[in-house]
């Protein structure tokens, strides 16, 4: 089903660009928007993982520098019957992690230096098992394209705002001004709903898969508790709202708006489900 979501996201991106192009410059604007949307879809499919990794200044980890991290990733990839993904490290004290890429053969997992400092090996296995489950379920392409689309929607909303300020549109009397206002108001809402629809259910499935791959549901529960506390206490710097849904816990969780519209399910509920798995009351 993830290929259907991918097709939907790419189609939505194209339609959104066509709408904005029509509002701003009519048929010529639509033609420019069509070309731009095709380039965006091509880029989001082939390069969105590189865009996200670059956004967080992730660097590919050296096996000599991070031997334990490599050993854990290789062990879990073997358990999950997956190719070993590329491993990246983000120099950031806030503990968090995400996976990206277009398929299991072109996947990457990224962890912050903070997560390596506060988790023990069992907890790290739980977290990386969670991320490898996203890879196995092919969530990573959907999530990464969604990040690109949400960023695009945010840009378009700003563009609509500037168009209104400077009198953009073909004719100020034919309703384009009102349409730009509606676009300005609705775009952030659409972006948020898109993230919520994609993120919440897949986190529960990835928790279950991570517990199964690592065989340590309680270690994953313990890791989630540590990560939630740390991200509330000190949100991840440079974390963008467009890519917050990629992380294992919300990197913006201390902000009031992020609490109200969290892209992640309740950490307490995630921990409760993992504890039930460990007690045999919930199947993997």
- For residue range 58-94, what is the model confidence (pLDDT) as tens digits? 999 999 999 999 999 999 999 999 999 999 999 999 9
What are the start-end ranges of the H helices in 119-216?
A: 121-136, 139-165, 176-214
Integer-rounded Cα radius of gyration of the chain: 20
Predicted confidence (pLDDT) per residue in 11-24, tens digit: 766 676 676 666 66
Above 60 in pLDDT, residue 173?
no
Residue-averaged pLDDT of the chain: 80
Give the whole-number percent of the chain exceeding pLDDT 90: 44
- Max Cα–Cα distance, the chain, nearest Å: 66
Contacts for 214-218: CB closer than 8 Å, 24+ residues apart: 214/76, 214/79, 214/122, 214/125, 214/126, 214/128, 214/129, 216/122, 216/125, 216/126, 216/129, 217/126, 217/274, 217/275, 217/277, 217/278, 218/274, 218/275, 218/278
| 131 is a catalytic site residue | yes
The structure's pTM equals: 0.75
Mean pLDDT, range 242-250, rounded to an integer: 86
Q: pLDDT digits over 143-154, tens only? A: 666 666 666 666
Question: Cα separation of 70 and 77, whole Å?
Answer: 10
Selecting among 123, 125, 131, 203, the annotated active-site residue is 131
CB within 8 A of 125, min separation 6: which ones?
A: 72, 75, 76, 214, 216, 219
């Amino acid at each position: 089903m993830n290929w259907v979501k991918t097709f939907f996201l790419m189609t939505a991106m194209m339609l959104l660009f066509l709408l904005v192009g029509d509002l701003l410059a009519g048929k010529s604007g639509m033609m420019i928007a069509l070309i731009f949307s095709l380039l965006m879809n091509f880029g989001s499919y082939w390069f969105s993982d590189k865009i996200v990794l670059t956004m967080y200044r992730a660097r590919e980890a050296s096996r000599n520098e991070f031997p334990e991290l490599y050993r854990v990733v290789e062990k879990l990839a073997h358990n999950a019957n997956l190719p070993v993904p590329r491993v990246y490290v983000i120099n950031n004290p806030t503990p968090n992690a995400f996976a990206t890429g277009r398929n299991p053969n072109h996947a990457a997992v990224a962890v912050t230096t903070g997560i390596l400092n506060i988790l023990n090996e069992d907890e790290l296995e739980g977290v990386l098992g969670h991320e490898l489950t996203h890879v196995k379920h092919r969530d990573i392409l959907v999530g990464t394209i969604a990040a690109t689309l949400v960023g695009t929607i945010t840009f378009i909303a700003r563009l609509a705002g500037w168009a209104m300020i400077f009198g953009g549109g073909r004719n100020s009397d034919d309703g384009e001004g009102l349409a730009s206002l509606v676009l300005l108001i609705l775009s952030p809402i659409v972006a948020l709903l898109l993230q919520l629809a994609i993120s919440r259910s897949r986190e529960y499935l990835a928790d279950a898969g991570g517990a199964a791959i690592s065989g340590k549901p309680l270690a994953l529960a313990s890791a989630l508790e540590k990560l939630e506390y740390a991200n509330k206490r000190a949100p991840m710097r440079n974390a963008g709202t467009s890519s917050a849904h990629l992380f294992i816990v919300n990197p913006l969780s201390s902000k009031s708006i992020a609490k109200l519209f969290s892209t992640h399910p309740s950490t307490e509920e995630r921990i409760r489900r993992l504890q039930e798995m460990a007690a045999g009351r919930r199947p993997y």
